[in-house]
Amino acid sequence: MKRRIWSTLTALGCLVLIAADAPAPILLRAQAWTAPGGGLAGALTREPHECLAARTPETEIGRALFRSPALLGGPAARMGLSCNACHTNGRINAHFFAPELTDRAAAADVTSEWSSRVRGDGVNNPVDIPDLTGIGRRETFGRRRDPSLEHFTNGVITEEFQGPPPPPQALAGLLAYLRALDADPCEPGESDISLASAADDVHRALSAAANAEPATASLLALSAQDAMGRIAERLPARRFRSERARLEALSRELGRMREAEDIGAALETASWRSRFDALIARLTRRERRSYFNEATLRSALRE
Ligand code: HEC
């Protein structure tokens, strides 16, 4: 009898241990490239400051595309990676850890077979992710000391990540954004990822789309849809059912406008932006209960 009690207790103990070791549930896409373990909720609700010295229609095109997986191709794009996943706000994502690309945080194998058939060298050799602040003042780029930022960036998109060659205006915008990452002094520290900052990303991508040529405008509308996805995933499904449905409907509507001759005019006619703003205002009142809030996210991740 005593033995039976002991074995029951041991079995229960094992269950408790297994429960404690169970991996966190996957709630946000960024978890696929964020180091697991303690402090996950903090890592997913804060980001380093962006040090932007200038803001023009061109840099705004680049800013939205820098945050969009649509610029990349292959497995990286399917996973949801963007330039911003590694170079968060043009800085360093200190928590970057995608097992496909690295064996330590804040580094990535830029010659990986996983992301690229062209550049893959069959060796797991991650290098530290660099801060891009001041990149426009550097004379060579990357370890292979490429003398041209344009050539280097095009190579990152089309060779390292198998993306299709970007339309000329998209590439020009991306380069303008990279060169504008140059505020002096560049503040250390972090800011919160909030509903307001996420909604601002959507608006900025759409304003850029309204100023762009059709091919680039379509890519920008896609990046706005992606930014909306980053809002939707932070709304717990049960608590925010109707808001999520509205957000999805707005995103589908935007998807249909992607091929419009003039996306700006199409948005205007449908009063798309004011309906989006009304939804955001409604969500703001309950932001504390969403995964923009660190404590709410922490308990949902069972940290
Ligand atoms: C998976 C992580 C990752 C992604 C995604 C990524 N980069 Fe990088 N990036 C790196 C690493 C690591 C290096 C250092 C590589 C080297 O030295 O050759 C780097 C280097 C650079 C450099 C050169 C920096 C210097 O100091 O020389 C630029 C510019 C750059 N990346 C821009 C981009 C842009 C633009 C995108 C999106 C199109 C992008 N990166 C996507 C990890 C990444």
Placement of tokens 């840099």 in the chain: 59
pLDDT, position 18: 46
The residue whose CA is least distant from atom 37 of ligand 1 is 83
CA 78, 245, 247, 288: dihedral to nearest 10 degrees? Answer: -100
Q: Tokens in use for 214?
A: 């059709």
pLDDT, position 183: 85
pLDDT, position 116: 87
The residue whose CA is least distant from atom 40 of ligand 1 is 83
How far away, in angstroms, is 178 Cα from ligand 1 center? 11
pLDDT, position 118: 83
What is the C-alpha separation between 76 and 115, in angstroms, rounded? Answer: 6
The residue whose CA is least distant from atom 36 of ligand 1 is 83
Q: Does ligand 1 come within 6 angstroms of the Cβ of 127?
A: yes
Torsion angles phi and psi, residue 65, rounded to 5: -70, -30
Judge contact between 228 and 250, C-beta under 8 A.
yes
End-to-end C-alpha distance for the chain, whole angstroms: 37
CA 218 to chain CA centroid, nearest Å: 19
129-168 core/surface letters (b: 16 or more CB in 10 A; e: else): beebbbbeeeeebeeeeeeebeebbbbbbbbbbbbeebbe
What is the C-alpha separation between 104 and 256, in angstroms, rounded? Answer: 41
Judge contact between 237 and 244, C-beta under 8 A.
yes
Which atom of ligand 1 approaches the CA of 98 most closely?
Answer: 1
How far away, in angstroms, is 107 Cα from ligand 1 center? 10
11 burial type by CB count under 10 A (0-12 exposed, 13-18 middle, 19+ buried): exposed
How far away, in angstroms, is 142 Cα from ligand 1 center? 7
Q: Does ligand 1 come within 6 angstroms of the Cβ of 157?
A: yes
Q: Does ligand 1 come within 6 angstroms of the Cβ of 92?
A: no
Q: Does ligand 1 come within 6 angstroms of the Cβ of 170?
A: no
Query: What residue type is assigned to position 71 of the chain?
Result: L
Which atom of ligand 1 approaches the CA of 174 most closely?
Answer: 35
The residue whose CA is least distant from atom 30 of ligand 1 is 153
Q: Does ligand 1 come within 6 angstroms of the Cβ of 179?
A: no
pLDDT (tens place) for every residue of the chain, 303 residues total: 455 555 554 554 544 444 556 778 999 999 999 998 889 999 999 999 999 999 999 999 999 999 999 999 999 999 999 999 999 999 999 999 999 999 999 999 989 988 988 888 988 899 999 999 999 999 999 999 999 999 999 999 999 999 999 999 999 999 999 999 998 888 889 999 999 999 999 999 999 999 999 999 999 999 999 999 999 999 999 999 999 999 999 999 999 999 999 999 999 999 999 999 999 999 999 999 999 999 999 999 998
Judge contact between 44 and 34, C-beta under 8 A.
yes
What is the C-alpha separation between 110 and 141, in angstroms, rounded? Answer: 13
Best CA proximity match to 230, nearest among 216, 212, 244, 249: 244
The half-sphere exposure of 86 on its side-chain side, counting CA atoms within 13 A, is 22
pLDDT, position 8: 52
The half-sphere exposure of 227 on its side-chain side, counting CA atoms within 13 A, is 29
Instruction: Give 46's contacts (C-beta < 8 A, 6+ positions apart).
Output: 190, 191, 192, 193, 294
Q: Does ligand 1 come within 6 angstroms of the Cβ of 101?
A: yes
Q: Tokens in use for 124?
A: 């797991």
What is the C-alpha separation between 50 and 90, in angstroms, rounded? Answer: 6
What is the C-alpha separation between 258 and 260, in angstroms, rounded? Answer: 6
The residue whose CA is least distant from atom 18 of ligand 1 is 142
How far away, in angstroms, is 130 Cα from ligand 1 center? 7
How far away, in angstroms, is 152 Cα from ligand 1 center? 9
Judge contact between 62 and 173, C-beta under 8 A.
yes
